[in-house]
Amino acid sequence: MGKLSVIIPCYNEKNSLKEILAKIKESTLDLEIIIVDDMSTDGTRELLKAEIEQQVDKIIYHEQNTGKGGALRTGFKAATGDVVIIQDADMEYDPGEYPLVVNPIFEGKAEVVYGSRFMNQKAKGYLLNRLANKGLTFLSNLMTHQHLTDMETCYKAFRREIIQSIDIEEKRFGFEPEITAKIAKRGIKIKEVPISYYPRKNSEGKKIGFSDGLRALHCIWHYSR
């Protein structure tokens, strides 16, 4: 088994960052933990410098906010592991399930794996969010000829050489349909595995809004042409 690079794009997550980092560090996998602070303004940056810098492999500080896509672009470039996985800085996803997502890549059975929130479990989260996710995934599948159930999932894992060879253009959450389309254009079949999901409320800091859905529609069409 090789090394897994965990990329954590971070923007205003001081209330959950220490907790999710503790969960990540419970993993028995060989980890490289990379945090990209996307110019947080809520005290996250101060927390990183005071308490977390000595606990992780790399922290990269953006001097202007570039969105999730921009933070991921920075993190991917810095990764040195054999496999790379995305981890949001909240508690919606369980790092204890990393092996479910990354083992198919380490074992040579896949090059890209998505962890699906909608396989083999009851629906969770706001109804409108679920409907939007399912609709966007359906349209993405039409354009990319993949057979996904959850294109918008956070848990995406890649062989490092693949993700580092792709030019990421989107700044915010358009990253999800963009990377899916660009992977598909390379003729790579995306494998899905079921994962757990613990959705947080908008009042708890969820950042995806209506405009992101509209942007996702544009990205599905634009990057699949």
Gap between the terminal Cα atoms of the chain: 37
How many angstroms separate the CA atoms of 176 and 86, rounded?
11
SS3 of 187, please? coil
38-42, 79-83, 170-174: least confident range: 170-174
Query: How many beta carbons lie within 10 A of that of residue 202, not counting itself?
Result: 11
Can you give the pLDDT at residue 125?
57
How many angstroms separate the CA atoms of 151 and 162, rounded?
18
Percent with pLDDT over 70 in the chain: 92
Can you give the pLDDT at residue 161?
98
Can you give the pLDDT at residue 199?
87
Can you give the pLDDT at residue 17?
97
Percent with pLDDT over 90 in the chain: 84
Q: Render pLDDT for 80-99 as a digit per residue (tens, 0 to 9).
A: 999 999 999 999 999 999 99
Can you give the pLDDT at residue 203?
47
Beta bridge partners of 36: 9, 60
Topology of the domain covering 3-224? Spore Coat Polysaccharide Biosynthesis Protein SpsA; Chain A (3.90.550)
- Provide the residue ranges of all domains of the chain, joining segments of one domain with +: 3-224
The candidate with the shortest Cα–Cα distance to 83, out of 194, 161, 181, is 161
49-53, 81-85, 125-129, 152-156: least confident range: 125-129
